[in-house]
Amino acid sequence: MTTHFRWIVFALVAAALVAGCDSSRSPVSNAPKVKPTVGDERTGSSVAAADADRTPTTSPEVERTADSVPLAPATEPLDGYVLIAPLRSRETYLLNNDRQIVHRWTSNYPPGASVYLLKNGDLLRCGRDPDYKKFQAGGVGGIVERFSWDGELLWSFRHQSDDYCSHHDIQPLPNGNLLMIAWERKSNEDAIAQGRDPKLLKDDLWPDYVIEVQPEGSQGGKIVWEWHMWDHLVQDFDREKPNFGVIYEHPEWIDLNNTGSTPPATPEELRKLRAVGYAGGGDDTQHGGNRQRADWMHTNAINYNPDLDQIALSAKNFSELWIIDHSTTTQEAASHRGGGRGKGGDLLYRWGNPWAYKSGTIEDKKLFDQHDVRWIPKRLPGAGRMTIFNNGQGRQFSSVVEIALPLDRNGDYVLGEDGRFGPQELAWEYAAENKKEFYSSFISGATRLANGNTMICEGATGRFFEVNTRGETLWQLVNPYGGELDMDGHPNDVQQEARKLLSGEKQPFVSNNALFRATKFAKDYPGFQGRTLEPLSEQPVPFSQLVNEALEKVKAEEASKPAAESKPGEEP
């Protein structure tokens, strides 16, 4: 018997044992949940009760990735427009290659944090309520708004309370619904009951979940599907609690006692996050500095692949990207069976940090607090692969990586013989020649363009730039906008800011121009059809410029004041 054949036999036997008798879970949590024959609210179609036996179809992404022909490195930037939403602003801007604003939208809220330009020209924008104080963490949102091209508010939706809050990112779906990331509160008692080590608890735990929202009317929406990571746990801390098992044997589950590859933000780091308008909830010191620990996963991006009907998530605190099945019902998503891949809501794939499922060490990490994981869409160079902004927290430089997913011809993600998901090698990577010159420890993103270039947003500095496949920078801009809101999302006063500068109370505009992302669209994007995209006759004046102009006036006023009269015995 060859080694290869023995491995196949071993894998088949192991799979049968896991499917038939999963001893690592309690009998209750392992019981399969049979779905009744009901209408799927997302499609209106009738769904059969037993779909765990569906035959997987061949994934078109395998063929597309393998047959993708790389383009010659571009020598010019893509002719198009860049969408930005400065974190300390209520404005969203569209800029041309001449760095002029050709369109703008105005909200009542700072971003919270992503924005999307839809194919009909509408703007879908996450918002942050400055008065929401229940939970503090980077990317806090709670609001989604949809504006027409002309700036009319067409729809809004709130998802926030004392027990939950949407955050960071959304994903528009082909059916008109949208996916949203959210936190949900779990008490210490809830966490301990599931096997969390009490020493790791300082406050309530706020794990992440995903909802699909069907918009209704001008305000509101119906949740038609949801997935909770809390339904897919494993722990090796307490044998008497649910979810007990050998973690490296279950890469499809999430280690409840994994503290992440990065420690919670220090008070200084948290002040920086608040300074750029990225973290809400007020001063964490009033809570003993513990609320930041509650943001266990910090999922900061969500992306959807319509061909696979799968969702990608960026679990920042785990330094991993995760892929889950969207073809499940809500009941199946809470279980370990069902859906197109037959695995319910379990993780289909994870990559970036095998240490998170105890199949490696911390030295095996590929990702470092990443953001903006996304599939490269059809008809673009590298289609079917994924791009990721690899922030580099802990190594002190950033990069953008592209990976080819280890899909077999049946559309399943292949686990390597070492118990880890590949790939081991990157398909492409961008990093600065002097690596320290390109670094954003948080936020940021990257998007593949039609000409093979990649638009990169170094979010913390506000710099966004376009590189070709050789890593040559063909276009760049440091965002001049933002700052008209303070770190909590309330309006700034120009005169007050000028006097702060004069007194030395505040350093000038180090962080006012931060961006969550910058997205570039080609000129033939459907949302631009039939629209005039000429530079605005009056370009918006950056807030920093207004403050600097006010500062010069204040200095002149101070200089023109007569010197104070000297008292007797004092030097004039």
| pLDDT tens digits, 68-102 | 556 899 999 999 999 999 999 999 999 999 999 99
Q: Strand pairing partners for 47? A: 38
Amino acid identity at 88: R
Tell me how far apart the alpha carbons of residues 303 and 374 are, in angstroms, rounded to a whole number: 5
Lowest mean pLDDT among 207-211, 495-499, 540-544: 495-499
What digits encode the pLDDT tens for the residues 372-395?
A: 999 999 999 999 999 999 999 999
Q: Which residue has the higher pLDDT, 496 or 154?
A: 154
Pseudo-torsion of CA 23, 26, 27, 33, nearest 10°? Answer: -100
**CA of 137: how far to CAs of 41, 168, 214, 262, in Å?**
33, 10, 27, 15
Residue 309 has pLDDT above 70, yes or no: yes
Torsions phi, psi of 27, nearest 5?
-55, -35
Specify the pTM: 0.84
What digits encode the pLDDT tens for the residues 135-190?
A: 878 899 999 999 999 999 999 999 999 999 999 999 999 999 999 999 999 999 99
What digits encode the pLDDT tens for the residues 248-263?
A: 999 999 999 998 655 5
Residue-level pLDDT at 502? 85
DSSP 8-state secondary structure symbol assigned to residue 273? H
* Among candidate residues 10, 13, 55, the one with its CA nearest the CA of residue 410: 55
CATH classification for the domain delimited by 80-484+494-557, as one of 1.10.40.60, 2.130.10.10, 3.20.20.70, 1.10.3720.10: 2.130.10.10
Tell me how far apart the alpha carbons of residues 485 and 354 are, in angstroms, rounded to a whole number: 41
Instruction: Give me the helices (H) in 452-542, please.
Output: 494-503
Convert 432-456 to b/e letters by CB count within 10 Å (16 or more is b).
Answer: beeeeebbbbbbbbbbbbbbbbbbb
Residue 458 has pLDDT above 90, yes or no: yes
CB contact at 8 A, 321 and 371 = no
Q: What is the residue whose two structure tokens read 């197109």?
A: 340
Using CB atoms within 10 Å of the CB of residue 166, give its burial: 0 to 12 exposed, 13 to 18 middle, 19+ buried: buried
Strands 399-403 and 386-390: antiparallel
CB contact at 8 A, 361 and 355 = yes
Q: Could you tell me which residues come within 8 angstroms of residue 225 by beta carbon, excluding any fewer than 6 positions away?
A: 41, 42, 211, 212, 326, 329, 330, 333
What digits encode the pLDDT tens for the residues 103-119?
A: 999 999 999 999 999 99
Instruction: Give me the helices (H) in 84-219, please.
Output: 188-193
Residue 504 has pLDDT above 90, yes or no: no
